[in-house]
Chain A
Amino acid sequence: MAHGDGTAHDDGQQQHPISLYFKVWGLLFVLSAASYAVDYYHVESYLRWSLVLIFMMLKAGFIVAVFMHMQWERLALIYAILLPPILVLVFVFLMVFEADYTFLTRGIFFILGN
């Protein structure tokens, strides 16, 4: 992330050219259209999931970095806000294992009966 390039004033005011917002706006439109196209043209399986995830992360990144001005903030704020959500990934892994186990148990139950 490029920060401290002098565009953000010291008193917290953000001054950026309007063309920047139009560019990001257009980019978000293109990315949304692309992720819609993934569904429209029935891209399936791993290609579908990876494309959806890539477009999602790019969109989220542009919104946070430019629209929410995060790339011009000091690292103290960036780390305080952006690092904690990454820990959610640990929760994701835990729940994937848990859900797989539940699925297995249900499978055994429904096939073998009780």
Chain B
Amino acid sequence: MTESTLTESGQSLARPSGHRGFVSDWASDQRAFKGVPWGKAMMWIFLLSDTFIFSCFLLSYMTVRISTTVPWPNPSEVFALSMGGDPVPLLLIAIMTFILISSSGTMAMAVMFGYKKDRRTTAILMLVTALFGASFVGMQAFEWTKLIVDEGVRPWGNPMGAPQFGAVFFMITGFHGFHVSVGVIFLFAIARKVWRGDFDKQTPGFYTSRKGNYEIVETMGLYWHFVDLVWVFIFAFFYLW
């Protein structure tokens, strides 16, 4: 009750925009993020903390790569795939990048159709996103197998150069792949709720007993775009550097 009263009184006031709005939002002695559902604000805060985790991983990679006296394996050659005899550099990684970007595109559209309460299109677009994500994880599994079995890369050493290469590679891409896998499960769960029409019929949630709405699609979308965002940085710093 208190929450809705606060929201209503907060929305009835005309809010200043720009920097004046920034100061008044934070100084209002109420919720600072006005006009944003709680779930979305909290997802942003979670993503901020996740940003720090991935930053620490990439930073430790940077530190290890600068400080090693052994040459770093050339990722362009390590991740090359041979197509009809000629090795094409980073082919699989490029395909994975395009797949993840496409999944972000379909996710953004799912959010849009969600707010239009078009539950069929929303659910289908979310399922397409989940399938893109699952194929990404599949390709990553193929990449790991190739590296471990054929190239002999281990967390403690590899035949190509600096022994830290394996440790950094498995940690960073493994943690990212784990995020993608969790995202796929998350997508299936929300897509099922959308498909059943939980948000149209105001069905209470199984765990929370609270009525949901289509805002969860956007919150879920934020997580998925973040996974794509992290890949942008991994692609640049690990594969292209």
Contacts and interface: CB of A to CB of B under 8 A. Distances in A.
Given A39-B76, A63-B225, A110-B69, A77 B89 contact: no
A14 B104 contact: no
A12 B22 CA distance: 17
Main secondary structure of the interface of B (DSSP, over half): helix
A96 to B, nearest CB: 7
Given A21-B109, A81-B44, A88-B51, 9 more contacts: A25-B104, A29-B101, A64-B225, A64-B229, A77-B44, A81-B45, A91-B55, A95-B62, A103-B66
B215 interface: yes
Contacts of B45: 80-81
Interface of A is mostly: helix
Interface of A: 3-4, 8, 10-16, 18, 21-22, 24-25, 28-29, 32, 35-36, 38-40, 48-49, 52-53, 55-56, 59-60, 63-64, 66-69, 73-77, 79-81, 84-85, 88, 91-92, 95-96, 98-100, 102-103, 106-107, 110
Contact of B35 (A11, A68, A110): A11
B180 interface: no
Nearest to A92: B59
Given A14-B115, A100-B66, A103-B66, A88 B108 contact: no
